[in-house]
Structure 1
Amino acid sequence: MKINPVIFLIGLFLIVACEKAEIEAPVVDNPVLSLSIPSGFPAMNSAVQANLPTKYGVALGERLFQDKRFSGNNTVSCSSCHIQSSAFADHEAQAIGINGRVGIRNTPPIQNMAFMKFYNWDGSKLNLESQAIVPIITHEELNSSILEVIGKLQNDPSYPLLFTNAFGDPSITADRIYRSLAQYQYTLISANSKYDRVRLHQNEVFTESESRGYTIFQLKCKSCHDTELFTDQSFRNVGFPLNISTQEAGRARVTGIAADYMSFRVPSLRNIAYTAPYGSFGQFATLMDVLDYFDNGVLEAENLDPILKANNNRIPLTQQEKLDIIAFMKTLSDSTFVGTTKL
């Protein structure tokens, strides 16, 4: 019997296609996670919409966040400095990286990152996806390279499945590493403090001291620590003691503008009780030290914040006002977020 070559080729194609379909891995169900946006929070960074957290993307990001192979000698991970019980900061004045090297700045907490417009003390990055490379290549932090990191991960037999679940195939790329790390951090939302429960009328009230502190805070602190993030995300020189490092220039390191010299991003005060010491390089051991400094008078500078200039370079506070403000700031503590008991 004579076989029609066209029919034969079609049949052969169908057989190969069926066999290929049988050996292909099933499509992984990797749903987008629903981020619970707290009441009153500002809009999310636009980068979030382009990299929405997924079930397996977040799981991969958390695994990478804890992997010490991101450092040159496999001893330090992101989580070595960003510790959950400290609101993903630490208690070092300046960050301690590979081989005990000391960085020039204090480790910032990484809560509510999805709602931030700038990252790092100087705002050098506008999205988390591009921020991740900074600690990887910095000499005092992880002191590695993304190519070195990829090479290490490729030798771990557990990672191909994790990348397949998150991105559809086992390819380990720089972009996928950055995206998954960002996805994990986008889920670190903190908005379950006593302050939040009082604000939302959830059967909790301030003490007399906390209530007084809240009132004083509105008058003397809110101009910088505004919105439900407790930062207006601006960059200001508030006359804090200067870092002696010749590498430090604050926001001016990014912009090259003299008027930005020693201006830093206003930090969020959420979970502030967990993140001592304070200041861009840990200048202050306690919250009382910070308030005492403002009360006594800050350093003069040509670009000192106008609010301070208008008040003779200080924020005058009585001792009782300081105690009350601190009592209020402690109500911003989210014990669920940091995984500890209440303060």
Structure 2
Amino acid sequence: MKLFIKTLVLVLVLTACTQDDNTTLMAYNNPEITLEIPTDFPELNDAVYNNTPTEYGVALGEKLFFDTRLSADNSISCSSCHIQESAFADHNPKAIGIEGRIGLRNAPPVQNMAFMQVYNWDGNKLQLEDQPLVPIITHEEMDSSILEVMEKLEEDEAYIELFNLAFEGEGITADGIYNSIAQFEYTLISANSKYDKVKRNEGATFTASEAQGYAIFQDKCSSCHSTELFTDQSYRNIGFPINPNTEETGRARITGLAEDYMRFRVPSLRNIEHTTPYGSFGQFTTLEALLDYLDSGVLEADNLDPILKDNNNRIPLTAQEKTDLIAFMKTLSDVEFLGLND
């Protein structure tokens, strides 16, 4: 498993018995993990301060992330759709759950979650701790229940001990599951790509094509893919082909507003080379196909983003500009984060 979280070591530092009821009292040494915040990254999500990653919390969250017992038939885990080499996404147009069930949308990458203010394609979660329950109970994903998951984990003495170490003897709880998975995901920070090294003056330099692509990006892409996250986290309708599933209405599924129809959260471009296919349901198999579509003209919509509407529903790009732009986007690949440098 190519993860860079420390190997779990369980250490019980103090055990004592009360004279009155012979109840075992435990003091737990569970040090906090300091998140290294990259230069110029946005503020942490406020929820991080209420669920600060700890040594055992992160270890527990990582263990749960890879555990197939979270699914009804013990066949898939979080990591089944969130694979490290794919920036913790996968290569299926839509997520695939137990029994081969097809979900509504493409599985988004799990990276830099500590700095995101909204989660999922439609922004239906504002705290990462609220996210783990969704795949557990969704029919097309794990199709289980939190009680069923807890019952399975309670049969495992190692889990009982780890939950106690992570959450001061509280045992296995639903909140412990949610909070520990979030803690693990908070540590998945990607900020060591070639782009980052160039910006930090660490000896890396752009090729001529990459440098030209960066200039094109700043001119034609950075309005939406802004900040060091390469997303402004806004919701936009950019005229992509529409999901044929009638349940899909984009952000409007959450707000109920017609103006939010087919608006989706702007995705980060970090590690985009490794997160194919692209779009909310994998509409584009390559970056070339995506750029060709934007160049040729997108679907008309009343709420089409003004950036496109004001430019005849397209982002005009020459063949060379597309080549250069893709060259730049590939500099956003973080091979250490992806586990590709072993």
Shift of the alpha carbon at 1:24? 2.9
Distance in structure 2 (CA, Å) of the matches to 1:44 and 1:256:
29
Q: Is the 8 A contact 1:160 1:170 kept in 2?
A: no
Q: Is the 8 A contact 2:17 2:24 kept in 1?
A: no
For normalisation by structure 1, the TM-score amounts to: 0.93
Partner of 2:78: 78
Q: What is the identity percentage for the equivalent residue pairs of Structure 1 and Structure 2?
A: 64
Q: Is the 8 A contact 1:162 1:170 kept in 2?
A: no
Distance in structure 2 (CA, Å) of the matches to 1:211 and 1:228:
17
Letter paired with 1:58: V
Q: Is the 8 A contact 2:58 2:180 kept in 1?
A: yes
Distance in structure 1 (CA, Å) of the matches to 2:256 and 2:23:
56
Structure 2 alignment gaps of length 5 or more: 1-15
Partner of 1:196: 196
**Matched residue SS, 2:110:** coil
Q: Is the 8 A contact 2:121 2:264 kept in 1?
A: yes
Would you say how many aligned residue pairs link Structure 1 and Structure 2?
327
Partner of 1:323: 323
Task: Report matched runs for 1:162-201 at 5 Å.
Answer: 162-169=162-169, 171-201=171-201
Partner of 1:151: 151
Distance in structure 2 (CA, Å) of the matches to 1:296 and 1:51:
46
Does 1:303 pair with 2:296?
no
For normalisation by structure 2, the TM-score amounts to: 0.93
Partner of 1:6: none
Distance in structure 2 (CA, Å) of the matches to 1:132 and 1:23:
34
Q: Is the 8 A contact 1:110 1:185 kept in 2?
A: yes
Q: Is the 8 A contact 2:98 2:142 kept in 1?
A: yes
Distance in structure 2 (CA, Å) of the matches to 1:309 and 1:147:
49
Partner of 1:106: 106
Shift of the alpha carbon at 1:169? 1.1
Task: Report matched runs for 1:56-71 at 5 Å.
Answer: 56-71=56-71
Distance in structure 2 (CA, Å) of the matches to 1:19 and 1:95:
55
Letter paired with 2:46: S
After superposition, the C-alpha distances for 1:142-198 in whole angstroms (9 at most, x for unaligned) are: 111111111111111211110111011152111111000100000000000000000
Distance in structure 2 (CA, Å) of the matches to 1:22 and 1:273:
59
**Matched residue SS, 1:158:** helix
Partner of 1:338: 338
Taking structure 1 as reference, are residues 39 and 22 closer, same or farther at Cα in structure 2, changes over 3 Å only? Answer: farther
Distance in structure 2 (CA, Å) of the matches to 1:139 and 1:217:
39
Structure 1 alignment gaps of length 5 or more: 1-15
Distance in structure 1 (CA, Å) of the matches to 2:175 and 2:335:
33
After superposition, the C-alpha distances for 1:203-245 in whole angstroms (9 at most, x for unaligned) are: 1100000000000000000000000000000000000000000
Distance in structure 1 (CA, Å) of the matches to 2:138 and 2:329:
33
Task: Report matched runs for 1:1-343 at 5 Å.
Answer: 19=19, 24=24, 26-169=26-169, 171-341=171-341
Between Structure 1 and Structure 2, which shows a larger proportion of helix residues? 1
Letter paired with 1:316: P
